[in-house]
Homo-oligomer: A and B are copies of this chain.
Amino acid sequence: MIKNSEFIDKLRSSGLRPTKQRLKICELLFNRDNTFHFTINDLAKNISRQLNEKISLATVYNTVHAFKNKGYLKEISINSDKSYFDTNTTNHHHFFDQDTNELIDCTDDEIETPKIKKNILGKKINSVEVLIKVATDNQNQK
């Protein structure tokens, strides 16, 4: 259980003012045991369920992007219709369950990280990410 004052410090130290909206979002995102995968929509719904006063959708977008830019969140691309975010910002891979549209972290015992043997000339590798799409056996592939 992370204390509110810790979030305040965290925000301040990265040059973000600790507003009550940002603190609420911190609480929702980072006060949990497991990695959280979400879309902005998920998060917005979550907030309005838990809060009597609402946070504007624009603020949710702003905050999530601010957190991403500060390195507190990672953006994951699965399909083009929406963005997923991940509270696990370490370099890791994902399963994507096509039945439920759920994103699941892939642990080191589940995958052997791919080795890049040759890179594009003059370019730096910024990330290497594996996405494993799974579905129940009788499901047709998307």
A123 B135 Cβ-Cβ under 8 A: yes
A80, A119, A137, most chain B CB atoms within 10 A: A80
B116 A115 Cβ-Cβ under 8 A: no
Q: How many copies does the complex hold?
A: 2
B117 A111 Cβ-Cβ under 8 A: yes
Chain B residue nearest to A80 in the complex (CB): B83
Point out the residue from B117, B129, B135, B142 that lies within 8 Å of A124, measured CB to CB. Answer: B135
A135 B126 Cβ-Cβ under 8 A: yes
CA distance A123 to B14 in the complex (A): 41
* Contacts A80-B77, A97-B120, A120-B104; A133 near B125 (Cβ below 8 A): yes
Please report which residues of chain A, range 36-59, place their CB below 8 angstroms from some CB of chain B when the two chains form the complex: none
List 29 A-B residue pairs with CB atoms under 8 Å apart, sorted by A's residue number.
Answer: A75-B79, A75-B80, A77-B78, A77-B79, A79-B83, A80-B83, A93-B114, A95-B120, A98-B126, A99-B123, A110-B117, A111-B117, A112-B115, A114-B114, A114-B130, A116-B132, A119-B134, A122-B136, A122-B137, A123-B134, A124-B136, A125-B134, A126-B133, A127-B131, A127-B132, A128-B132, A128-B133, A130-B130, A131-B131
